[in-house]
Structure 1
Amino acid sequence: MRIAVFMGGVSSEREISLKTGKAILESLQRQGYDAYGVELNHENLLSAFLENEYDLAYLALHGVYGEDGRIQGLLDILGKKYTGSGMIASAVSMDKNLTKHVAENVGIPVPKSYLKEEINSIEHYPIVVKPTTEGSTIGLYICNNLEELKKAIELSGDKDITIEDFIKGEELTVGVLEGEALGVIRIKPKSGLYDYTSKYTKGMTEYEFPAKIDEISYNKAMKYAAKIHKALNMRGISRSDFILRGNELFFLEVNSCPGMTETSLVPKVATLKGYSFDDLTKKMVENFK
Structure 2
Amino acid sequence: MKIAVFMGGISSEKEVSVRTGTAILNSLIRQGYDAYGVTLDKNNLLTAFIENEYDLAYLALHGEYGEDGRIQGLLDILGKKYTGCGMISSAVSMDKDLTKKIAQAVGVRTPKSYTRENLENIDKFPVVVKPSTEGSTVGLYICHNKEELLDAVEKSGEKDLVIEEFIKGEELTVGVLEGEPLGVLKITPKIGLYDYKSKYTAGMTEYEYPAKISEKSYQEAMEYATIIHNSLKMKGVSRSDFILKDGELYFLEVNSCPGMTETSLVPKLATLKGYTFDDITRKIVEKFR
* Pairwise TM-score range, normalised by the shorter structure: over 0.9
Please state whether the residue corresponding to 2:84 is helix, strand or coil. coil
What corresponds to 2:190 in structure 1? 190
Q: CA RMSD in A?
A: 0.6
What corresponds to 2:143 in structure 1? 143
- Contact preservation (8 Å) 2:202, 2:263: no
Q: How many residues align?
A: 289
- Structure 2 Cα separation of the partners of residues 190 and 39 of structure 1: 33
What corresponds to 1:201 in structure 2? 201
What corresponds to 2:84 in structure 1? 84
Cα shift readout 1:21-48 (whole Å, capped 9, x = no counterpart): 0000000000000000000000000000
Please state whether the residue corresponding to 1:164 is helix, strand or coil. strand
* Post-superposition offset of 1:263: 3.1
Give structure 2 stretches of 5+ with no counterpart.
none
- Structure 1 Cα separation of the partners of residues 254 and 225 of structure 2: 8
* Post-superposition offset of 1:246: 1.2
Please state whether the residue corresponding to 1:11 is helix, strand or coil. coil
What corresponds to 1:242 in structure 2? 242
Please state whether the residue corresponding to 1:224 is helix, strand or coil. helix
- Structure 2 Cα separation of the partners of residues 138 and 72 of structure 1: 23
Please state whether the residue corresponding to 1:68 is helix, strand or coil. coil
Q: Is residue 48 of structure 1 aligned with residue 48 of structure 2?
A: yes
- Normalising by structure 2, we get a TM-score of 0.99
What corresponds to 1:253 in structure 2? 253
What corresponds to 1:267 in structure 2? 267
One-letter amino acid of the counterpart of residue 202, structure 1: A
Please state whether the residue corresponding to 2:150 is helix, strand or coil. helix
- Structure 1 Cα separation of the partners of residues 177 and 202 of structure 2: 26
What corresponds to 1:229 in structure 2? 229
What corresponds to 2:213 in structure 1? 213
Consecutive aligned runs of 4 or more in structure 1 exceeding 4 Å deviation: none
- Contact preservation (8 Å) 2:141, 2:152: yes
- Contact preservation (8 Å) 1:262, 1:277: no
Please state whether the residue corresponding to 1:21 is helix, strand or coil. helix
One-letter amino acid of the counterpart of residue 100, structure 1: K
Give structure 1 stretches of 5+ with no counterpart.
none
- Contact preservation (8 Å) 2:143, 2:149: yes
Cα shift readout 1:167-215 (whole Å, capped 9, x = no counterpart): 0000000000011100000000011311112111221100000000011
- Structure 2 Cα separation of the partners of residues 106 and 8 of structure 1: 34
* Post-superposition offset of 1:160: 1.1
One-letter amino acid of the counterpart of residue 207, structure 2: Y
- Structure 2 Cα separation of the partners of residues 201 and 38 of structure 1: 25
- Structure 2 Cα separation of the partners of residues 192 and 244 of structure 1: 17
- Structure 1 Cα separation of the partners of residues 246 and 288 of structure 2: 41
Cα shift readout 1:204-250 (whole Å, capped 9, x = no counterpart): 10000000001100000000000000000000000000000010000
- Contact preservation (8 Å) 2:201, 2:263: no
Please state whether the residue corresponding to 1:129 is helix, strand or coil. strand
- Structure 2 Cα separation of the partners of residues 162 and 152 of structure 1: 12
- Structure 2 Cα separation of the partners of residues 25 and 13 of structure 1: 18
What corresponds to 2:158 in structure 1? 158
Q: Is residue 283 of structure 1 aligned with residue 253 of structure 2?
A: no
Please state whether the residue corresponding to 1:149 is helix, strand or coil. helix
* Post-superposition offset of 1:262: 3.5
- Structure 2 Cα separation of the partners of residues 163 and 182 of structure 1: 30
- Structure 1 Cα separation of the partners of residues 186 and 223 of structure 2: 16
